[in-house]
Amino acid sequence: MHTTSKAESFLTMSIPITDTTAAVTARTRLLRTPGELRIASERWRSSGLSLGMVPTMGALHDGHRSLIRRARAECDRVAVSIFVNPRQFGADEDFARYPRPLERDLAMLAGEGVDAAYVPDAAAMYPRGAATTVSVGSSLTRDFEGETRPGHFDGVALVVAKLLIAARCDRAYFGQKDAQQCAVVRRLAADLDIGTTVVVCPTVRDGDGLALSSRNAYLSPDARRRALAIPRALGEALRRFAAGERRAEVLAALVRDRLEEGDSLRVDYVGVVDADSFEPLTEAGRGARIVVAATIAGTRLIDTVGLGIDEPPDVPSLVGAMVELDARSGRALRSRTCSVR
Ligand code: AMP
């Protein structure tokens, strides 16, 4: 499956770049086409400067910021792409309503000292007549996100291949939260001899333990509270692993049971997998990952932890959890537990 035609036509409209944007991006060059990205990259690289690339879909948060800061620390120049890629959304998914706060994003990139914001529109990325597909096979894309979102990884593989080829970057930064995507991108970069080092960065969580995601903005305060079942369940599995449990089936069942308690969310999948191949495991060793996807009031969230690697997320206890939310973004400002009389 590829894009819906509705999605394609929606994004052939350019995202308007206003005067304010130009002012905001005085220190961050705005690049709009693969050609502009290639030229900027060639200039830097011919001056002996290394380039780090951070691919995103915008609606930037502290998870993205952590990737950008890592890139800044390791590379001479940093480019961040913002492109809501229609090819990785299914027909019934949230492509049209995906948040696109471009001005705020560009201000954030300027504040982080990013050298280039690459903001192509769909016509620049997929001009009329574009017919090439990229598909990563094997167990990497068979299950989990691959099964639940048919065609999703073809869209991811195509857009990432295009970004890395145009940028010719030395390093590209991805978040561990999208663990299956990381495994797919690593394979893709190796198989296509792209020559970019894929760097995977730890998941950044909000104060209440929920993994940061642009989609968290969809959650009502009630849905957000229910979503905390995800980091809570993963934390419990980490503790069981630390206490010696190695049976993947038992760890997965524990997570599923916790998520299904109280009917507050719908579980799409729970898996215990090898981090590189995404083959489901029967025996979980150090470095194996638990991957989870669940839908809460229409919002689909994914999360993951590395067994024997990650610390259990710090989640307020079920009873008496007080989470103060930012009214606009839905992000947790602070959380505390309180006694209930
Ligand atoms: P997205 O804009 O959601 O496509 O994400 C762009 C990149 O940021 C991907 O490599 C994500 O894995 C990464 N990312 C998203 N959320 C987080 C997070 N909470 N912590 C670390 N990286 C993240």
Q: Is 81 in the pocket of ligand 1 (CB under 6 A)?
A: no
Q: What is the pLDDT at residue 280?
A: 98
Assign residue 188 the CATH number of its domain.
Answer: 3.40.50.620
**Does any domain span residue 206?**
no
Parent domain of 264: 214-337
**Does any domain span residue 209?**
no
* Of 201, 233, 265, the domain-final residue: 201
**Does any domain span residue 43?**
yes
Q: What is the mean pLDDT of residues 231-253?
A: 98
**278 and 135 co-located in one domain:** no
For the CA of 202, the nearest atom of ligand 1 = 21
Q: pLDDT-based confidence at 264, cuts 50/70/90?
A: confident
Q: Is 98 in the pocket of ligand 1 (CB under 6 A)?
A: no
Q: pLDDT-based confidence at 267, cuts 50/70/90?
A: very high
**240 and 158 co-located in one domain:** no
Write out the two tokens for 291: 């991957």
Angle between helices 179-191 and 152-167 (to 10 degrees): 50
**Does any domain span residue 73?**
yes
Q: Give the model confidence (pLDDT) of 111-142 as tens digits.
A: 999 999 999 999 999 999 999 999 999 999 99
Q: Is 2 a residue of the active site?
A: no
Contacts of 271 (CB under 8 A, 6+ apart): 143, 144, 252, 280, 290, 291, 292
Q: What is the pLDDT at residue 8?
A: 38
* Of 201, 229, 245, the domain-final residue: 201
Whole-prediction pTM: 0.89
| CA dihedral (246, 279, 163, 158) positive or negative | negative
Q: Give the model confidence (pLDDT) of 141-194 as tens digits.
A: 999 999 999 999 999 999 999 999 999 999 999 999 999 999 999 999 999 999
Residue 160 Cα to ligand 1 midpoint, Å, equals 14
* Of 170, 201, 232, the domain-final residue: 201
Assign residue 299 the CATH number of its domain.
Answer: 3.30.1300.10
Dist. CA 272–CA 283, nearest whole Å: 9
**183 and 273 co-located in one domain:** no
Side chain identity at residue 121, one-letter code: D
**233 and 132 co-located in one domain:** no
**49 and 139 co-located in one domain:** yes
What's the structural domain count of the chain?
A: 2
Q: What is the mean pLDDT of residues 290-308?
A: 97
Cross-strand pairs, 161? none
Residue 78 Cα to ligand 1 midpoint, Å, equals 16
Q: Give the model confidence (pLDDT) of 316-326 as tens digits.
A: 876 445 556 66
Q: How far is CA 173 from CA 29, 64, 192, 220, 304, in A?
A: 19, 9, 18, 30, 18
Residue 187 Cα to ligand 1 midpoint, Å, equals 18
